[in-house]
Structure 1
Amino acid sequence: MMEHKLILDKVSKTFVDGEKRVSVIEDMTLKVNEGEFVAVVGPSGSGKSTFLSLAGALLAPTSGRTFVGGHELSQLSESGLNRIRLEKLGFVFQSSNLIPYLTVIDQLILVSELSGKEREDAKSKAKKMIKRLGLSHRINHYPEQLSGGERQRVAIARAWMNDPELILADEPTASLDSERGKEVVQMLADEVKLRGKAAVMVTHDQRMLDLCDRILYMEDGRFVKEKNQMNEAH
């Protein structure tokens, strides 16, 4: 049976601005399956970043329920939510957000150590991830010594370090040229299929959409259209 890695069940998010209530996400329902790579596109201000924050357990919904890897987020304590973020979720941001004073391998080891893994085990896994992403020759380099594409590959390796159920990527190709951007998104797509995980990518980059299984179009806090690439491919 296909496992749902992410479920949003009638989720809404409202912010209070002075005396005004601003609805950013409205009655959103979504299921992302194991092995599925989903793109979310839409104009600025449509709610894409808020959607990602809800999916990533960084924001609590005003109403509705969010499930990650089978866990309902509203039922968890703050320490439980932190555990979900560390063990079930991987984040890839617009800029790679690498720590400037850590080498490539230490960026990856830190993630595992934060979740209580032994350093030697983390080091062995980090080396494998770095090799898989073609960065072995950069293993002891610092972020300033890497190209933009290399930094994003390190960010992807870091996101996979704790074997998360779900990767959330926020404009991961924004600072990359077309070739490097394609390379980075292809890596995300390959890892999702290879490991039976799932990924959701918010993007403005139309050139990357053919690598995704499903495209969701967002306006005013809602999904207004869906394109299923897998069905069209058959």
Structure 2
Amino acid sequence: MNNKLVLDNVSKVYGDGDSSVKVLDGISLEVKAGEFVAVVGPSGSGKSTFLSIAGALLSPSSGRILIDDQEINSLPANKLNKIRLEKIGFVFQASNLIPYLTVKDQLMLIAELAGHRNKAAEKRADELLERLGLAHRKNNYPEKLSGGERQRVAIARAWMNDPEVIFADEPTASLDSERGRLVVQMIADEVKKSNKAAIMVTHDKRMLDLCDRVVYIEDGKLSEQAIS
């Protein structure tokens, strides 16, 4: 299995001199194709900064980030935007669906932004919605969906452009434990089925058995943890 995501000695520092704050301190992590990794840690440990840097939303102060063997942290803005659209998928705490778009159009918008709105994209959207049990909802608007259904749409949207790496930020935060587990199970299944890499930041330890590895972050440093 090849590494889909590599963080190599990554640090993030805010401010200068005596007033500087080191949020990430020389962290390194490799995530392989087909691997689902959980990142856990207390509030203020650096989880959000870690996810933002790994997902190309924020630049590191030092170190390297590689996605699908391409170093991304030195790319110009236009190429970085292309990487985000084509190589990265995000699932957030809230589904962040656009209220005036139907379920299928949520997915088609992603294809359109990447310049791929065509018959093949239509077919992929239909297949993803079928796979996630949402085919009967494709013409519905978000207000007609349950919380769990909205998060499933968000998962389908994250997979729409066939990205190499998925980042999930507290995807169960707005769901009860049963629906939350279903959502995380779907992410885990899709990672294996499509041989992608995924990282989930979570506070919910009940979901960790669905992951392949657990990484603990505290004071900006990473350490591996056994799944109990």
**What TM-score, normalized by structure 1, do the two folds share?**
0.94
Task: Give 1:104 deviation, angstroms.
Answer: 0.1
The whole-number CA distance in structure 2 between the counterparts of 1:108 and 1:29 is 33
- Secondary structure at the aligned position of 2:25 is classed as strand
Superposed counterparts of 1:111-130, under 5 Å: 111-130=110-129
Structure 1 stretches of 4+ with a deviation exceeding 3 A read none
The whole-number CA distance in structure 2 between the counterparts of 1:118 and 1:203 is 33
Q: Which runs of 5+ in 1 are unaligned?
A: none
The whole-number CA distance in structure 1 between the counterparts of 2:224 and 2:214 is 8
The whole-number CA distance in structure 2 between the counterparts of 1:75 and 1:18 is 24
Cα deviations by residue, 1:151-183 (Å, 9 ceiling, x for unpaired): 000000000000000000000000001111111
Work out whether residues 216 and 222 of structure 2, in 8 Å CA contact, stay in contact via their aligned partners in 1. yes
Task: Give 1:77 deviation, angstroms.
Answer: 1.3
The whole-number CA distance in structure 2 between the counterparts of 1:168 and 1:185 is 12
Work out whether residues 23 and 46 of structure 2, in 8 Å CA contact, stay in contact via their aligned partners in 1. yes
- 2:34 aligns with 35
- 1:94 aligns with 93
Residue correspondences, number: 228
**Which one-letter code corresponds to 2:204 in the other structure?**
D
Task: Give 1:74 deviation, angstroms.
Answer: 2.4
The whole-number CA distance in structure 2 between the counterparts of 1:121 and 1:20 is 52
- Secondary structure at the aligned position of 1:116 is classed as coil
- 1:208 aligns with 207
The whole-number CA distance in structure 2 between the counterparts of 1:192 and 1:224 is 23
- 2:65 aligns with 66
Which deviates the most, 101-110 or 8-17? 8-17
- 1:174 aligns with 173
Cα deviations by residue, 1:119-166 (Å, 9 ceiling, x for unpaired): 332222111110110011111111111000000000000000000000
Q: Which runs of 5+ in 2 are unaligned?
A: none
Cα deviations by residue, 1:14-40 (Å, 9 ceiling, x for unpaired): 111897111100000100011100000
- Secondary structure at the aligned position of 2:199 is classed as strand
Work out whether residues 107 and 158 of structure 1, in 8 Å CA contact, stay in contact via their aligned partners in 2. yes
The whole-number CA distance in structure 1 between the counterparts of 2:112 and 2:178 is 33
Superposed counterparts of 1:9-158, under 5 Å: 9-16=8-15, 20-158=19-157
The whole-number CA distance in structure 2 between the counterparts of 1:224 and 1:210 is 17
Task: Give 1:118 deviation, angstroms.
Answer: 3.0
- Secondary structure at the aligned position of 2:20 is classed as strand
**Which one-letter code corresponds to 1:193 in the other structure?**
K
